Structure 1
Amino acid sequence: MKKPQGRIEPYHHPAAGWGALKQVAINLIKEKVTGGDYRMLLKQNQPNGFDCPGCAWPDREHASTFEFCENGVKAVAAEATSKRVTPDFFAAHTVSELMAQSDYELEQHGRLTDPMVYDAAQDRYVPIDWNAAFELIAKHLKALDDPNRAAFYTSGRASNEAAFLYQLFVRMYGTNNFPDCSNMCHEATSRGLPGTVGIGKGTVTLDDFEHADTLLIFGQNPATNHPRMLGELRECAKRGATIVSINPLKERGLERFASPQHTLDMLSPKGVQISSVFIRPRVGGDFALIKGVAKRVIELDDEALAQGTERILDVGFIAEHTVNFDAFAADLRAESWSTIVAEAGLAVDEILKLADIYVKGKAVISTWGMGITQHKNSVATIQLLSNLMMMRGNIGRRGAGLCPVRGHSNVQGDRTVGIEEKPTQAFLDRLAKAYDFEPPREHGYDVVETIHAMLEGHVKVFIGLGGNFAIATPDTPRTFDAMRSCALTVHVTTKLNRSHLIHGQDALILPTLGRTEIDTQNGVAQGVTVEDSMSMVHISYGMNRPASANLLSEIAIVARMAHATLGSDKVDWLDLASDYAKIRDGIEQVFDGFQNYNERLKKPGGFHLGVASRDRVWKTPSGKAQFVVHGIALDTPIHRARAEHGQKLMTLMTTRSHDQYNTTIYGLDDRYRGVYGLRRVLFANREDLTMLGFEPGQHVDITSVWDDGVVRHVEDFMLVEYDIPRGCLGAYYPETNPLVPLSSVADGAGTPTSKSIPVLLSPAKSATLGADTEAHAIAA
């Protein structure tokens, strides 16, 4: 019998608690973080310390001495590791050999120490001098016959200063080709909210959580993706707020939570109950659910009007602040309950229950994550949710509002300071005036468009400021082909990842300082700024010694690329990189909200940028908040696939394990879901398994159903019985990214539809049943 590979075992404990503290210790030991560097955790997310390089959840103005979470520690430990990837490492391993390693194995090698260039003759990366690296970049960029033949990717880990300098360099070079991580996560938020409330940002701050009586949490798993949010939810639950989790999966962190900062939580076997209600639509059913709730609000208001009782709608808010409500109300009245129920995958009573909770709330916050944004109808869903909140005036009121919870630590800030492939003319005008040049006016490529352009030979140079582009993106084999078609690929990075091995004809790996490391320019320690999910801007100073004396900051790398490519006649790039306050002065000139930028950063916790819709100022064409009408789509790719394949057609959602952050794999466990030592697992409803003729523990292959003739197929996934709605499956990315068609994107946003993939299952060619996988059903 084969030796068991991993195990499935129910996890009965609350989120966080002793399990989290244990993992903190394990990760610090695993990454060989030296004793002195342990103390840095006391400076994490502190006003005089460094900002966590993980999620974008905001910090309290008056932070405690313990402001880090398990997954934040994993991110920091990965940066502070004493393990090193030196030129000797690359001398010992060809790129082909490294390609055979897993993403987890690549992560575990440690920090990069020196700039490297690909040598095709040896199939190895070899050392290169920094000056020679920048000369190679400049040579390729100058050789292009059109600046639009280069694309410049940005990860959400980049600071405001690095991102602003990067976009200035690229626009002076002559293109708006800015694919960035926003394109793959919250782009639907950025494109959807301007059509309703005028700006693509949330309207709440942390203080609003203290006054909310109802929280609706759509498509989120805070315990894994932004664990410090659970501290706020704990306080809301303790004072009696109603918290509703709306998600196909019943995630542990929204059931029970034990805060390591509270002794009684740690002594309790159950922790604190977070959500009191769980509403579980089918994958992709959120739009129909929200429309059903909105329809019920109209029905209840009609009844109140007929009976002469208090109105359900906030008629004053609607009259003063909105347009197009009558058309929206008419659409709701005309919508069929049978269609709503069928598309939501819920009984009508559950929809009515959610509507009752919503109308009873006096101050309601709606939050959402990528469970909402990665669908074909994600823009419409976010606009419909915005409509629902406007119906009762839950925008621009204390304790109420819209709260998109973004992923990476500065993904929102990067967009604020100009990382945007579709810039407004007003922004370009201000940039032109501040820096005396004419920026390109035509829109550039987003992520998916960049991949298409590389495949078609239009983009020949790819430069990535952080991230793991080849693995984060959809349609993995086609993305690999796209990257390999480039003349040059460049990656600014802290650690080795798969994208560095999927290279162009020429390729560079440029190692950079991490957020946790001291960044000294001209003998002066520099701080960098970030903007969190709630539009707070604050400064971050590294605490640790750099991993190598041969590292440059992201800002220095961008400045030296720009200097080598463009010269410094118009902009003294090296001078800007010598003092980051000068870059902030430039940001202040170009963008509203940054007045007295450097001075305001001196306040502990930073400052709020200001969000117009929070103040009930509507930057829309009408000058008011706009109700937008959307019908329920009944002819989508999933509908067509289901019509062809019947019940065998499943809808797959990709998700993170608890031991990863975005594409970074820290370990092979997902303990809250009861998975240990495994990643190629497929969560499925027991009744679906029976209907399809499978058993838990059986291994299957997964094939996408799409109409472009491309076969998309992944192999050897172990079936795990799980509490998930019928017809739905869950699996980890990036392992299932090959199943996401490049052409399957959100309408109006271009976001890959990674949460709604139509698939078919078949027995794995190498499958064996049962005992040797130790597969057991996870209890509800």
Structure 2
Amino acid sequence: MTENSPDGVKPYSGPAGGWEALAAVAQAVRKEMETEVANTRALLRMNQPDGFDCPGCAWPDPKHTSSFEFCENGAKAVTWEATGKRASPAFFAEHSVSDLWSWSDHALEDAGRLTTPLRYEAATDHFVPVSWEEAFAGIAARLNALDHPDRAEFYTSGRASNESAFMYQLLARAFGTNNFPDCSNMCHEPTSIGLPQSIGIGKGTVSLEDFDHADAIFCIGHNPGTNHPRMLTTLRAAAKRGVPIIVANPLKERGLERFAAPQDPVEMLTLSSTRLASAYHQVKVGGDVAMLKGMMKALLAADEALRAGGGEGLLDRAFIAEHTVGFDDLRADLDTTSWSAIERRSGLSRAAIESMAEVYWNAERVIACYGMGITQHRHGTENVRQIVNLLLLRGNMGKSGAGICPLRGHSNVQGDRTVGITEIPTEAFLERLDAAFGITAPRKHGHNAVDALAAMADGSSRAFIGLGGNFAVAMPDPAVAFAAFRGLDLNVQIITKLNRTALLTATHSYILPCLGRTERDLRAGTQQAMTVEDSMSMVHASRGTLKPASDALISEVAVIAGIARATLAQCPIDWEGLSNDYARIRDKIEEVFPEFADFNARIAVPGGFRLPNGAAERVWHTSNGKANFLAGAPLDEDDGLDEGTLVCTTLRSHDQYNTTIYGLNDRYRGISGRRDVVFVNADDLAALGLSHGDTVDVVASDDRVLARQTAVAYPIARGSVAAYYPEANLLVDARDYDRQCGVPSYKSIPVKLRAHLAADRQAE
């Protein structure tokens, strides 16, 4: 095949950040905002002690924030929410559901902010406006018609505040179910399951200040330039003081290579940048366990050599003896793991892995950061455990400048879980909840996201309430998800903008529009503050500053309270009183969760407070009171893939936040105006008889084909390919997930590439 030059594909040579980032912010403001000057000022209130928390990611705020503490993607998130466009009743009168279904996901959200509650009218195939009380009554009637509370699913997006998440779990448990499919189930569930088994807490152990004291930083399976851009400022500061930053990632990502800080006048005026990665290792997709085992194997060998020569060795033996169990089992596993298996499975040479290990053992204090490139695999929980194993070997847990740093996406996905959004609640939590509210919460464990989809698909679950998010699009295998929603009795979506899940109409469907993070939330005439927890356990207040998009909008808390009042007529809970004063909700959170002691007083302090983190203090809340080395499964020589099979990972573009598509550009990867591309190593293309620019099909099975994609030769590890999420979700079988935690395997999909024309000829 001849080399092509596909439209909208051009290598990007600049750094992350810089003038192009500022230009993108300006463009977002001009495109979306109705009153540019007033709303631009709103950006300056983002991540400030008296302003609102950025909805774009969970990276923590510095203690001394500047007036420019926001990034390009945070600005996009704010302007996308603060748009002057409106999806009003007139919009829905003009467009039927069948018409809207043909729109792209980008076009659906680009229609603008929803303004009034809506009910689906099957006779006309239109959503029609209803009053709030009519909507609440209709939803209550359908919930109360269920023959068991477990027939309902209560989904939560990490966009929800601590107050709304707490109220939501209270509603579901007062109703009688622990069915809490949650966005965490799709991303960091290996963190929530794996870390407690290893160190006794399902969160990271580091603070932002720890990065100032680290001697080495390992960045594994994440892309900060797109997914948490404010982290680049932290990495830049570390690089400036000579800290080695070691990257392990299948794709070359500009946000880990070079960064020009928009706040640095020298870099901006001289068009210079700061190198971030001191070494960049392109591990094969799915090869992280092998790489981590290789690093530990190299560390143990170097330790033994030093001890044989009379030295002290490299392991922190005092820490291991006092604080851990399981070291001998880990060592036995590493002894039986061959270097040939490690090299084959990781795609890295022994020399490369040993060089990573050498940086690790030469550093006194190490932070390991990881993202969904680690978690979204069928072995995601083991990935997380192996990172912990590596850190424990040298005592890099519970000391200044060291620890583990899971990089969360949604701004409050961690907080939602902290205040009770979990399908597997502890008895101690439920006892405190019962005592605080005079209820008897159900004890039977409920559904996670995978369980919920299966129950909806087989008819066991009949109702779905979504507190934010776009569940059907975010989950794998849309053919299964879409059919499951259309078979429900009730579909309720509490959202700010239209999305595809809202168009999957059940027998009864409602769209309940709510206030966004950026908007003033007045209840009983008083401005309310809500709180969020960032990825480093800091809890702080957030107060919207913008005028609501519609006078009919109410907050998530008020929506939840309205559904609860209508559904649970005999419930002793004062839903109205709680929803009219969020301080009362925080008092109840404090009553149920003692770690929130003096909640209202502590959020009055600028910057908020940090929740207790036992592992950060070397207190291990595990079953045995120790940090646990967990060896995991043996590493086979054979990866089980047929010849010609590649492993596909899904990824987000730079113009995207989860399922929200802001635009069709992916600047740092050189893509503009399109998303129908698959990134492939040039040598893999040649081996398959394909070329850059060819139109190909990505084939996971006979009935799961991502068709008509443009092959883009890209610096990605051999044996690996990448395609955009959520479009590539159709390649993921709904039954393919991590059996230990339930996270779908979005980033370890065996696929084959074939020329699209060849497929057409086969069909003929």
Judge same fold: TM > 0.5, yes or no: yes
What is the alpha-carbon distance in structure 1 between the residues aligned to residue 126 and residue 683 of structure 2? 50
TM-score for the superposition, normalised by structure 1: 0.95
Q: Look up the match of 2:665.
A: 669
2-structure distance, mates of 1:16, 1:104? 24
- Which whole-Å CA distance do the structure 1 matches of 2:481 and 2:543 have between them? 36
Note if contact 1:716-1:767 (Cα within 8 Å) is conserved in structure 2. no
Rounded Cα–Cα distance in structure 2 between residues aligned with 1:315 and 1:29: 58
CA distance in 2 between counterparts of 1:5 and 1:727 reads: 23
The correspondence for 1:119, drawn from 118, 121, 124, is 121
Gaps of 5+ in 2: none
- Paired AA for residue 685 in structure 1: N
Identify which of 89, 92, 111 aligns with 2:91.
89
Matched residue type, 2:28? N
CA distance in 1, matches of 2:630, 2:717: 30
Which residue number in structure 2 is paired with residue 8 of structure 1?
A: 9
Q: Secondary structure at the match of 2:717?
A: coil
**SS, match of residue 675 in structure 1:** coil
Does residue 691 (structure 1) correspond to residue 683 (structure 2)? The answer is: no
2:647 corresponds, among 648, 651, 674, to: 651
Q: 2:562 aligns with which of 560, 563, 566?
A: 560
Counterparts of residues 60-459 of structure 1 (less than 5 Å): 60-459=62-461
Aligned to 1:711, which of 703, 714, 724? 703
User: What is residue 723 of structure 1 aligned with on the other side?
Assistant: 715
Separation in structure 2 between the aligned mates of residue 99 and residue 703 of structure 1, nearest angstrom:
25
Structure 2 residue 742 is matched with structure 1 residue 750: yes
Matched AA of 1:160: N
Name the amino acid aligned to 1:610: P
SS of corresponding position for 1:161: helix
Deviation string 1:734-779 (CA, Å, 9 cap, x unpaired) is 11011111011013110010011011222225999xxxxxxxxxxx
CA contact (8 A) 1:466 1:491 kept: yes
Q: Provide runs of 4+ in structure 1 moved above 3 Å.
A: 632-636, 765-768
| Structure 1 counterpart of 2:248, one-letter code | I
Is the 1:378–1:747 Cα contact (8 Å) retained in structure 2? no
CA distance, structure 2, for counterparts of residue 372 and residue 332 of structure 1: 20
Whole-angstrom CA distance in 1 between matches of 2:571 and 2:441: 16
1:353 and 1:764, CA in 2 relative to 1: closer, same or farther beyond 3 A?
A: same
Aligned partner of 2:409: which letter? G
Q: Which moved more, 1:624-633 or 1:4-13?
A: 4-13
Q: How far apart, in 1, do the equivalents of 2:6 and 2:539 lie? A: 45
SS at match of 1:326: helix
Amino acid at match of 1:222: P
SS of 2:594's partner is coil
Residue segments in structure 1 that go unaligned for 5+ positions in a row: 769-780
The residue number in structure 2 matching 1:472 is 474
Aligned residues: percent identity? Answer: 52
Query: Do the aligned partners of 1:117 and 1:508 also contact (CA within 8 Å) in 2?
Result: yes
- The residue type paired with residue 715 of structure 2 is D
Q: Distance in 2 between matches of 1:667 and 1:239?
A: 36
What's 1:761 paired with?
Answer: 753
What does residue 735 of structure 1 align with? 727
Is contact 2:519-2:544 (8 Å) kept? yes
**Distance in 1 (alpha carbons) for counterparts of 2:636 and 2:376:** 18
Secondary structure (helix, strand or coil) at the match of 2:373 reads helix
Q: One-letter code of the match for 2:667?
A: R
SS of the equivalent of 1:43 reads: coil
Q: Deviations over 1:167-218 (max 9, x none)?
A: 0110010000000100000000110001110111100000100000100001
| Correspondence for 2:21 | 20
- In the alignment of these two chains, the number of paired residues is 755
- Give SS of 1:367's match: strand
The C-alpha deviation readout for 1:464-503, integer Å capped at 9, x for no partner, is 0000111111111110011111011000000111111112
Distance change >3 Å, CA 633–CA 723, structure 1 → 2: same
Residue of structure 1 equivalent to 2:610: 608
1:29 paired to 2:37: no
- Partner of 1:136: helix, strand, or coil? helix
Asked if 2 retains the 8 angstrom alpha-carbon contact of 1:663 and 1:734, the reply is yes
The Cα of 1:435 is off from its aligned counterpart by 1.4
Q: Let me know the Cα RMSD of the aligned residues.
A: 1.4
Tell me if the contact between 1:54 and 1:409 (Cα under 8 Å) persists in the aligned partners.
yes
Residues 676-711 of structure 1 show CA distances to partners (whole Å, capped at 9, x for unaligned) of 101010001111111111121111112214xxxx72
Aligned to 2:502: 500
Is this contact kept in 1: 2:496–2:514, CA < 8 A? yes
1:282·1:728 contact (CA, 8 Å) conserved in 2?
yes
Structure 1 residue 270: Cα displacement: 3.8
